[in-house]
Every structure is written in structure tokens, then in C-alpha cells.
A and B are shown apart, each in its own frame.
Chain A
Amino acid sequence: TQLLEQSPQFLSIQEGENLTVYCNSSSVFSSLQWYRQEPGEGPVLLVTVVTGGEVKKLKRLTFQFGDARKDSSLHITAAQPGDTGLYLCAGVGGSARQLTFGSGTQLTVLP
């Protein structure tokens, strides 16, 4: 069974601060996705990283896939209240190529 551990579980910061969320596994994934879920809604895909060592930027969000494709990080610069939500990482792997989700990081950005 492939497991993804996310840390921290909860994060509460002030507007303007920077933060990093981590997603770690002992398994290798062919790709890794990051989703954000807001209350009352389903997860929305933010990015997919495919290549070990890959870095993708989406405005103030920077996503990195580890060289060994076992871990990933999400860095947010100058966080805003609109960034508040549950951030989920999900790895693609195994013969069925189904998504394995991490337990999530609940981010709250205070104005």
C-alpha cells in the first residue's frame, strides 16, 4: 500500500507570511498532483509534477517534485486569506495508476 504523509496537518499564519507544506512517501510515484479544497467544495487540481527534480510555479505557489519522486513540497509566498483551504497531495502509481491521497494540510491565512 502506498502512503503519503503530509506535514504539517494544520497551519495558521498571518497574511504576507511565507509557508511550505510537505508531502512524503517511501514509495516512488510516476507523478504527483496538488489539489486545494475549500469548504463545501470538492478538491480542485492546482498542478501536476512528473519529472524528478521538477519545479513548477503558479503565481505565488511553487511546487517541487523530489529527485527520487518520493516527495514533494508546496511553497506559498506572501500568503493571502484567499489561499485558505485544505491542500492535498496525491500520487499516481501502481499498475492501476490510481491516485493515492495524502491526509491534507489545513491552511488558514489570517488577515
Chain B
Amino acid sequence: ETGVTQTPRHLVMGMTNKKSLKCEQHLGHNAMYWYKQSAKKPLELMFVYNFKEQTENNSVPSRFSPECPNSSHLFLHLHTLQPEDSALYLCASSLKAGGPPTYEQYFGPGTRLTVT
């Protein structure tokens, strides 16, 4: 139990569906992250929020839309996805983004997304 929860744990959606992934952290952190983990590829950073402000968008397609209403909650809204978007989507949090090198990131268990 890392203090970061993600729901749902598994999601199957069609290419025309709209769904949302939810992440919640109970650690009092101020930075939250979305990562994509695909088979045979390194973890890819998608978005970074620091004190509710988006500070990083790593050229992510607009069919992925993040939302951070407060420092404890992070959402990833999905629409018109492609089969190649199937992956494990991981949420993480840290004390703050861009802090000293020793700031740890705590990861949630991920949402396994399958796009059909």
C-alpha cells in the first residue's frame, strides 16, 4: 500500500467510448503524474501537475485529457482512443515536482486499459 490509489484497475473500452481514470493520493503530496507503461517500452511520462498546475505535457495526443482539481486527485479523461493506446496507466505523486533529487515518487497500482 503506497498511499496512491487508482480506479478502475482494469478497463476495456471501444474506440468511440469516453471514460475516465481516477487517481487519489493520501500522502499530502503536491505533485502528481501520469505515466504510460507499454510492453517492451520504458515508462513514458505523460503529464505533470505541481500544486494543481500542469507543468509538463510530453506531446501527448489530445484524446488524453488530464484534470487535477486539487493536489490529492488526478483524472485522465479518455475519448476516441486507438488500439495502440492499450497499456498500463500509472499515477504517481511526490512532495513536489522538480524538487531536490531525493524526492521520491510513489506509484499507484495502475489501470490496465484495453482498447478494442
- By a beta-carbon cutoff of 8 Å, the part of chain A in contact with chain B is 4, 30-31, 33, 35, 40-45, 48, 50, 88, 90, 92, 96-104
Whether A97 pairs with B102 at a CB distance below 8 angstroms is no
Main SS at interface, chain B? loop
Considering the complex of A and B, which 5 residue pairs feature the smallest CB-CB distances, nearest first?
A: A42-B107, A31-B101, A101-B43, A97-B98, A101-B42
Q: How far is the CA of A104 from the CA of B91 in the complex (A)?
A: 18
In this complex, what residue of B is CB-closest to A86? B37
Number of A-B contacts (CB under 8 A): 60
22 A-B interface contacts by CB (under 8 A): A31-B101, A41-B109, A42-B2, A42-B4, A42-B90, A42-B107, A42-B109, A45-B104, A45-B105, A48-B101, A48-B104, A88-B43, A92-B101, A96-B48, A96-B98, A97-B98, A98-B45, A98-B98, A99-B43, A99-B105, A101-B43, A103-B40
Q: Which residues of chain A have C-beta atoms less than 8 A from B45's C-beta?
A: 98-99
Cβ of B110 within 8 Å of any chain A Cβ, yes or no, is yes
Within residues 83 to 116 of chain B, which ones have a CB less than 8 A from any CB in chain A? 90-92, 97-99, 101-102, 104-110
Q: Which one, B56, B90, B110, contacts A98 given CB within 8 A?
A: B56
Q: Say how far A42's CB is from chain B's closest CB, in angstroms.
A: 3
Task: Given A43-B107, A44-B107, A45-B105, decide whether A103 and B42 contact each other with a Cβ distance below 8 A.
Answer: yes
Q: Say how far B91's CB is from chain A's closest CB, in angstroms.
A: 8
**B17-46 contact mask (Cβ, 8 Å, vs A): 1 or 0:** 000000000000000000000001111010
Q: How far is the CA of A31 from the CA of B103 in the complex (A)?
A: 10
Q: How far is the CA of A98 from the CA of B103 in the complex (A)?
A: 11
Whether B42 pairs with A31 at a CB distance below 8 angstroms is no
